[in-house]
Amino acid sequence: MLKIENLHVNAADRPVLKGLSLEMKAGEVHAIMGPNGSGKSTLSYVLAGRDGYEVTDGKVEFMGQDLLAMEPEDRAALGLFLAFQYPVEIPGVSTTTFLKTAINAVRKKRGEKELEPAQFLKLQKQKIQQLGMDPEMMKRGVNVGFSGGEKKRNEVLQMAMLAPKLAIMDETDSGLDIDALKVVSEGVNALRGPESSFLVITHYQRLLDYIKPDIVHVLANGKIQKTGGPELALLLEEKGYADFYDATEAA
Partner 1 sequence: MMATTAAGTFMAQAPQVAAAMPWLADAAALQNDKAVGWIKALRATGAEAFAQTGLPTVAWEGWQYTNLRALAAAKFRYSTDPVKFDAAKIPGNLLGTHRVVLVNGQYQAKLSNLPDHVTVMSLMEAAEKNVTGIEEQLVTLGDLAKTPMTALNAAYVRDGFVLVVAKNRDVAEPIEVVFFNAGRDAAIYPRVMYRLGENAGCTVIERHCGEGAYFANTYASITLESAARMRFYRFQEESDAGFHASNTIVQQHKDSSFEGFSLATGGKLARQEFRLQLIDRAISSSIGGTYLMKGQQSHDFTVLADHFEPDGKSVQHFKGVVDDQARAVYQGKIHVRRAAQKTDGYQSHHALLLSPTAEASAKPELEIYADDVKCSHGATAGQLNPEAIFYLRSRGIPHDLARSLMVESFLGGAIEKVSDQALRDIYLSRVSAWLAGRGA
Contact residues toward partner 1 (CB under 8 A) are: 48-51, 71-73, 75-77, 81-82, 84, 87-93, 97-98, 101-103, 105-106, 109, 141-142, 158, 162
Nearer to partner 1, 71 or 231 (CB): 71
Q: How far is the CB of 137 from partner 1 (least distance, A)?
A: 17
State how far the alpha carbon of 164 is from the alpha carbons of 107, 125, 191, in Å: 12, 19, 9
Question: Comparing C-alpha atoms, which of 132, 143, 141, 155 is closest to residue 97?
Answer: 141
Q: How far is the CB of 246 from partner 1 (least distance, A)?
A: 36
In whole angstroms, give the CA distance from residue 243 to residue 203: 15
**C-beta of 153: minimal distance to partner 1 in Å?**
16
The helix (run of H) or strand (run of E) holding residue 215 is: strand 215-220
Count the residues in the chain: 251
Residue with Cβ nearer partner 1 (24 or 159): 159
CB nearer to partner 1: give 72 or 193: 72
Q: Nearest distance from residue 81's CB to partner 1, in Å?
A: 8
Q: Which is nearer to partner 1, 44 or 221 (CB)?
A: 44
CB of 203 to partner 1, least distance (A): 22
* Nearest CA among 13, 139, 142, 8 for reference residue 84: 142
Looking at the Cβ atoms of 9 and 106, the one nearer to partner 1 is 106
C-alpha 160/C-alpha 81 separation (Å) is: 10
One-letter identity of residue 100: K
